[in-house]
Structure 1
Amino acid sequence: MYRFFIFIILCLSINSLNAKEPNILFIMVDDLGYRDLSIYGSPDIQTPRIDQLMKEGMRFTQFTANSCVCSPSRAAFLTGRNQDMVGVPGVVRTPDSGNWGFLDPEATTIADVFQKNGYRTSLIGKWHLGLKSPNTPNERGFEFFHGFLGDMMDDYWEHTRHGNEYMYKNFQPLATKGTHATDLFSDWAIADIEAAKNDARPFFQFLAYNAPHDPIHPPKEFYEKFKKRHPNASEKRALLAGLIEHMDHSIGRVLDHLNKLGLANNTLVVFTSDNGGKLRYGADNGKLRADKTHMYEGGLRVCTSFTWPSKIKPGSQSKFKAMTMDFMPTLIDAAGIQYSGHMDGQSFLEEVLYANQKEFTKRKQYYTWLQGYKKHALRIADWKLVKDSQKHKYELYNLKEDPFEKKDLSKDYPEKFSEMRKDMDSYLTKAAKVNWKRPSQK
């Protein structure tokens, strides 16, 4: 009876919240270390603008990406599906020889849903899910695209990859050499919000920064500010810190513009990363084990927050265990949209708004990077099965008792280990049947 009462209150509240549909600004950064924001405990990096954003909303401490690398997590966000089931088991690359993904042309994206329900949709920044038709942003639900079509940049001022210029405005390639990519994306996000202000429709903007992905190219000013505060810091750490603090400053400019235009009060702002930070480039994942490209928590746990003035309690913190593919159903719910299409993700809006949602205790959360490395993990409640490479043996951890994955329990709990192995094998069998190759790779 209590749960039924809460459900009725939630439904009524959502109807009330969406008397005017909210704008949605979804910010995804790239390879951010779990302890590389000051609000998440960084002892040296200062991120006052992101910190303030999170203090004004709900901050998540157990949120995970769907994968330990870029493209799969982005596919999970865009479709609300396990990435392997929509054709993106690995990283989408320029040459066919290194490509491990072809986003299913039939898959419905979050941008498709918002556009069909009266939203102005835009992608600003990094795409990384296809270079040609049918997998360009404008063909996948974004009516406006201003950003980088490829994956990582070889230079933050040159904006090239493998010698290709991948900056585009819709279908038109751009020459943008000379301005830092983070500044460009922030400028373009602000311009897009300006345009949205004059549109009767609410907006959904996906703002995807390349930073702080390598190469670690901070503006000199921000690098020097950090070195002045921390003269004994390693060069590696100082460079990354400068890139992150510049990113924080740039995000602050976008948030300031929301306020300036009077849009902040009706805008839901989400912040997250596509995976964990890379230690060899100076990232700090705290006590979490390992880093990007690994199936341990250091590669999967991501800084995440929801901010929505007068709807989400400021300063709230949640241990709710959601993952990247859960964003789509949650944001659709927040907008009051009725959508019956298939999603593997589940809405956690009740947690975001009221901090009282029950955990997905029986859900099977698959984490994968299934290109040549064949890395994967499965979490069910507090249990986590890990295979961190093709040659690596399976391990079993209880994250409640052992959050830093130090003690392999596979021999201590053989029945649990066997049960989770069967679940993982079943998933991998299904994933192996899904096409992930471009037409040119066949």
Structure 2
Amino acid sequence: MKFTSGYVSGLQCAPTRAGLLSGKYQQRFGFYHNRDVFNKVFLPQVTMPQVLKKSGYRTGMIGKWHLGRSLEAEYPHRRGFDEFYGFLYGMRGYLAPAKGGRLMRNNEPVKEHFGYLTDFLNRKAVSFVNKHSGKTPFFLYVAYNAPHYPLEAKEEYLKQYNTGNPDRDKQLAMMASVDEGVGLILDALKKNGQYDNTMVIFLNDNGGEPKRGASNGKLREGKNSLYEGGPRVPFAVSWPGKIKAKQISSIPVTSLDLFATTVDVAGGKMPTDTTFDSKSMLPILFGKTDKPNHETLFWQQTKEGWALRHKNWKLISPKEKAKAGKLELYDLATDVSETTDLADKHPDIVKKLHELYKEWHSKNNPKASVRM
């Protein structure tokens, strides 16, 4: 099932990952910006793999972590993942010698050989599937860093593209390697007889960066932006034995709900000693409802910059205009590119939505990054 209104809870890498793995708006615990990873605010949070392990799942994480690296207690293998292969930093290069953080297996550095990083991650993902299929239920989180900069691609794919923009060509070639990896993982599931019985979820952690050759189609701007190009991402779910194929849904969905959805699939229970924003998507995925889990979705990266979507209305407090008290209002049903500001035309709607933001914001931890 492909969702045309799929969202993540952040506008950049780390905050989105914190929301995904905690099942709650990351602002609730003071995680607004990538730099907040150094404040260790994610460390006390209950994580998705920790809960899934209680249902007997073997948990694995491959790729980019970006949720803490100064203490071993922050490493993936201490945060619920039985097996980790990847890197702790927010970025690293793809070709040896690579720029950025070193590869790790749990808490041990990996001796690196020449090759392409995405290929390494693909092989490890397939190995995990082969190792555990038919033996134990498993949860695998494959966090590709491609096409995050530095823009480095395999020549065999790079030569297939000639858009006139070298950065765009590299982006496409890097995504081709990710596409290859997704295919290899699906093939491994089929080979092991687990394809029909496995839910596969595909999404990004934020919109692409146009300045680095990415394209978000009709959506305005991209990564780090409150406009649709920032939090609206590719979002698809496959479960051949349970979900009818080739469906397209316009229901707004959020990455926050993947926590409760996976726990629901596993037959587990959400912890009751903390507050979650996550709700199971199974009723939507099974066609039992056409209503979204959340009537309103929120985003905030800085003190001045925030946005919300309520039904088809989008209210934005742009960072650069916030000091003047300027709010913008868009009707996403007719203006997905956010070209026509309707705030002056509908002050009553602006007021109503602003009150929704204030109520949401009052429940969050205000101790955000220094940009707040």
Superposed pair shares fold, TM > 0.5 = yes
Taking the aligned partners of 2:40 and 2:355, their CA distance within structure 1 comes to: 27
| One of 333, 350, 359 as aligned partner of 1:400 | 333
Q: Read off the aligned partner of 1:313 and give its amino acid letter.
A: K
1:332 aligns with 2:263: yes
- What displacement does 1:239 show? 1.4
| One of 115, 118, 127 as aligned partner of 1:179 | 115
Q: Read off the aligned partner of 1:146 and give its amino acid letter.
A: Y
| One of 138, 142, 146 as aligned partner of 2:77 | 138
1:64 is matched with 7
SS at match of 2:9: coil
Taking the aligned partners of 2:291 and 2:94, their CA distance within structure 1 comes to: 44
- What displacement does 1:220 show? 0.8
Q: Read off the aligned partner of 2:255 and give its amino acid letter.
A: T
User: Are the equivalent residues in 1 in contact too, given 2:72–2:107 (CA < 8 A)?
Assistant: no
- What displacement does 1:263 show? 1.8
| One of 285, 305, 310 as aligned partner of 1:352 | 285
1:242 is matched with 173
2:215 is matched with 284
Between 349-358 and 143-152, the greater mean CA deviation after superposition: 349-358
Q: Call closer, same or farther: CA 1:369–1:175 in 2, change over 3 Å.
A: farther
Taking the aligned partners of 1:390 and 1:140, their CA distance within structure 2 comes to: 37
- What displacement does 1:359 show? 2.5
Deviations 1:367-411 (A, max 9, x none): 1223xx853211111111112315443211121232221111221
User: Are the equivalent residues in 1 in contact too, given 2:264–2:280 (CA < 8 A)?
Assistant: yes
- What displacement does 1:275 show? 0.9
- What displacement does 1:435 show? 6.9
Q: Read off the aligned partner of 1:246 and give its amino acid letter.
A: S
- What displacement does 1:203 show? 0.2
User: Are the equivalent residues in 2 in contact too, given 1:277–1:284 (CA < 8 A)?
Assistant: yes
- What displacement does 1:101 show? 4.9
Q: Read off the aligned partner of 2:67 and give its amino acid letter.
A: L
1:389 is matched with 319
Gaps of 5+ in 2: none
1:375 aligns with 2:305: yes
Q: Read off the aligned partner of 1:125 and give its amino acid letter.
A: G
Taking the aligned partners of 2:97 and 2:41, their CA distance within structure 1 comes to: 27
- What displacement does 1:92 show? 4.1
User: Are the equivalent residues in 2 in contact too, given 1:189–1:254 (CA < 8 A)?
Assistant: yes
Higher helix share: 1
Taking the aligned partners of 2:245 and 2:253, their CA distance within structure 1 comes to: 20
SS at match of 1:75: helix
2:346 is matched with 413
SS at match of 1:354: coil
Taking the aligned partners of 1:364 and 1:270, their CA distance within structure 2 comes to: 22
**Count of aligned pairs:** 364
TM-score (norm 1): 0.77
Where in structure 2 are the equivalents of 1:70-219 lying within 5 Å? 70-92=13-35, 101-131=39-69, 132-161=71-100, 165-197=101-133, 200-219=135-154
User: Are the equivalent residues in 2 in contact too, given 1:92–1:129 (CA < 8 A)?
Assistant: no
User: Are the equivalent residues in 2 in contact too, given 1:88–1:100 (CA < 8 A)?
Assistant: no
- What displacement does 1:137 show? 0.6
1:424 aligns with 2:357: yes
Between 115-124 and 339-348, the greater mean CA deviation after superposition: 339-348
1:35 is matched with none
Q: Call closer, same or farther: CA 1:283–1:247 in 2, change over 3 Å.
A: same
Taking the aligned partners of 2:38 and 2:298, their CA distance within structure 1 comes to: 18
Taking the aligned partners of 2:332 and 2:214, their CA distance within structure 1 comes to: 22
Query: Percent identity at matched positions?
Result: 31
Taking the aligned partners of 1:242 and 1:104, their CA distance within structure 2 comes to: 33
Q: Read off the aligned partner of 1:104 and give its amino acid letter.
A: F
- What displacement does 1:154 show? 4.2
Q: Read off the aligned partner of 2:136 and give its amino acid letter.
A: R
User: Are the equivalent residues in 1 in contact too, given 2:86–2:103 (CA < 8 A)?
Assistant: yes
- What displacement does 1:252 show? 1.2
- What displacement does 1:189 show? 0.8
Taking the aligned partners of 2:335 and 2:292, their CA distance within structure 1 comes to: 19
User: Are the equivalent residues in 1 in contact too, given 2:96–2:115 (CA < 8 A)?
Assistant: yes
Q: Call closer, same or farther: CA 1:320–1:351 in 2, change over 3 Å.
A: same
User: Are the equivalent residues in 1 in contact too, given 2:197–2:241 (CA < 8 A)?
Assistant: no
Q: Which has the higher contact order (CA 8 A, sep 6+)?
A: 1
SS at match of 2:222: coil
- What displacement does 1:224 show? 0.5
SS at match of 1:300: coil
Q: Read off the aligned partner of 1:322 and give its amino acid letter.
A: V
User: Are the equivalent residues in 1 in contact too, given 2:54–2:268 (CA < 8 A)?
Assistant: no
SS at match of 2:112: coil
Taking the aligned partners of 2:219 and 2:20, their CA distance within structure 1 comes to: 23
Q: Read off the aligned partner of 1:197 and give its amino acid letter.
A: S
